[in-house]
Amino acid sequence: MSGPHFRDHHLLLDEQAAQIFEMSDVIAERVRKIGGTTIRSIGHIARLQRLADNDHEYVGPKEMLLELQADNKALVTSLRAAHEVTDKANDYASTSLIEVWIDEAERRAWFLFEATR
């Protein structure tokens, strides 16, 4: 990230990254609580990855924020699909967590939208 809004964008992205990191820890704990296994390696992550990496040498601030907004919208779509599964399984704890994550991802997408207007 660079440009005249560097500090504001940096703080926004730090806040969002912390939220996503916290979510990933809760997901792993929930999976283990219900008897599942969690991701075991970088290669395992690569095989499961749904969002494309952006390895461009430079991405402009607005383009970066728009890409992150789209990624959060894609996450909402995936979370809604997961919500249907957990709801049908009567897994109330997972369903409740997913509802919070949907709200958080929608909020992140909204903040990114407003930052690019």
- Domain annotation covers residue 50: yes
How much is the pTM? 0.89
- Using a pLDDT cut of 70, give the percent of the chain over it: 100
- Domain annotation covers residue 1: no
Task: Say how many domains are in the chain.
Answer: 1
CB proximity list for 50: less than 8 A, separation 6 or greater: 74, 78
- Domain annotation covers residue 96: yes
- Domain of 66, CATH number, reads 1.20.1260.10
- Domain annotation covers residue 42: yes
- Using a pLDDT cut of 90, give the percent of the chain over it: 93
> Average pLDDT, stretch 81-97?
97
pLDDT-derived band of residue 2, with 50, 70 and 90 as boundaries? confident
Domain that holds residue 108: 6-115
CA distance linking residue 53 with residue 2, whole number of Å: 19
Question: Mean of the per-residue pLDDT values for the chain?
Answer: 94
- Domain annotation covers residue 27: yes
